[in-house]
Amino acid sequence: MSAPSTTVTTSTTCRSCNAATGGAQFCPTCGKIQPLPRGADYFAFFGMPQKLVVDLAALEQRFHSLSWKLHPDRFARASEDERQLSLDLTSQLNDAYRTLRDPVARVEYLLSLSGMRKEGQKKQQAPPELLEEVFELNESLDELRETRATGGSAAQMTGLRAKLESAQHKFESALAGVDQELAGVSAEWDAALDASADESARNKLMERMNEVLNRRSYIRNLVNGVRQELAET
């Protein structure tokens, strides 16, 4: 999270009464709004550990509560500085919530915090278990475009559509499989944190997550491509 312009402090003591704030948005002693400590991330914003299995109902509740407490309307008569802080923190709150409520964006974000998100040169390569399906799909797509361009018969088009729809289902189920895999690694990550796993173990898990994300993005592009082609047919 980039530091808002008004945030120059690196301490976690209240700007107003000097009491310890623990990095919270409001001083627990005097209740004044506080800038986020430098380097605070989205997880810290919600007072959460950097874990990947998230109780969405609790997250939503915290979001609504913070939204209300930080709302700029509540700072209409506050100092210019506090008004600006409420705007900055509200905007960061919205970004943080959007990211953390989505299981894929959440993993992407965790990896980006450690510089472990790497799109990779293999992005354009089909995952080995899908090679054959991808090959067939490309053939069907070529055939479809050619048939469309040369004005093929209705029966031909119907046959090709059916082929593409079946490919679409295959890739959608592959995508669901990858999402399950991501949920599995996410749970492993949380268990590793609970067990105070060392850096090398954590890095290995992050590399696996990165690989799953790359595979996911490849398959999602295929699904979207087929969907678009079918919509045009």
Q: Which is nearer to Zn ion, 70 or 96 (CB)?
A: 70
Number of H-type helices and E-type strands within the chain: 7, 0
Q: Name the minimum Å distance from CB 15 to Zn ion.
A: 8
Q: Which is nearer to Zn ion, 20 or 53 (CB)?
A: 20
Task: Locate 28 and state its tokens.
Answer: 């627990």
**Residues in 81-140 that interact with Zn ion by CB under 5 A:** none
Closest to 171 measured CA to CA, from 221, 97, 223, 136: 223
Q: Mask of contacts with Zn ion, 18-57, x by CB under 5 A? A: -x-------x-xx---------------------------
Of 7, 9, 12, 16, the residue at the interface with Zn ion (CB under 5 A) is: 16
Q: Which is nearer to Zn ion, 17 or 176 (CB)?
A: 17
Phi, psi of 9 (to 5 degrees): -85, 150
Closest to 71 measured CA to CA, from 29, 27, 37, 26: 26
Burial 50-87 (b: 16+ CB within 10 A, else e): bbbebeeeebeebbeebeebbeeeebeeeeeebbbbbb
- How far, CA to CA in Å, does 160 sit from each of 5, 44, 151? 56, 51, 13
Q: Which is nearer to Zn ion, 30 or 187 (CB)?
A: 30
201 binds Zn ion (CB under 5 A): no
Closest to 229 measured CA to CA, from 152, 165, 133, 153: 165
Task: Locate 112 and state its tokens.
Answer: 């980006």
9 binds Zn ion (CB under 5 A): no
Q: Which is nearer to Zn ion, 17 or 201 (CB)?
A: 17
Q: Name the minimum Å distance from CB 17 to Zn ion.
A: 3
Window contacting Zn ion (CB under 5 A); options: 16-24, 69-77, 144-152, 202-210 = 16-24
Give the interface size with Zn ion as a residue count (CB under 5 A). Answer: 7
The footprint of Zn ion (CB under 5 A) covers 14, 16-17, 19, 27, 29-30
